[in-house]
Amino acid sequence: MKLDVVLGLQWGDEGKGKIVDVLAGNYPVVARFQGGPNAGHSLHFDGKSFVLRSVPSGIFRDDAKNIVGNGVVLDPITFKGECDNIAEKTGIPVTERIVIAKKAHLILPTHRLLDAANEAAMGKSKIGSTLKGIGPTYTDKISRHGLRVGDILAPDFADRYAKLQNRHITLLKQMGYECDPHAEDAAFMEAVDFLKKFELVDCEYYINELLKTKEILAEGAQGSMLDIDYGSYPFVTSSTTSCSGACVGLGVSPQKIGHVYGIFKAYCTRVGSGPFPTELFDETGEKIRAIGHEFGAVTGRPRRCGWLDLVALKYAVMISGVTDLIMMKSDCLDTFGTIKVCTSYIVDGKPSNQWPFDTYADIQPVYTEFKGWNTDLTHCRAEEDLPQEFREYIAFMENFLEVPIKIISVGPDREATIMR
Q: Which residues are catalytic?
A: 13, 41
| Residue 159 to residue 155: CA distance in whole angstroms | 9
Using a 10 angstrom Cβ sphere, with 0-12 exposed, 13-18 middle and 19 or more buried, the burial of residue 369 is exposed
Q: How far is CA 41 from CA 36, 51, 58, 168, 298, in A?
A: 11, 5, 11, 30, 9
Contact 143, 111 (CB under 8 A): no
* Residue 406 burial by Cβ neighbours in a 10 Å radius (0-12, 13-18, 19+): middle
Q: What are the respective helix, strand and coil percentages of the chain, to the nearest 5?
A: 35, 25, 40
Rg (CA), the chain: 21
d(CA 113, CA 175): 11
Among the listed residues 328, 284, 257, the one whose alpha carbon sits nearest the alpha carbon of residue 17: 328
Under 8 Å between Cβ of 231 and 12? no
CB 243 within 8 A of CB 250: no
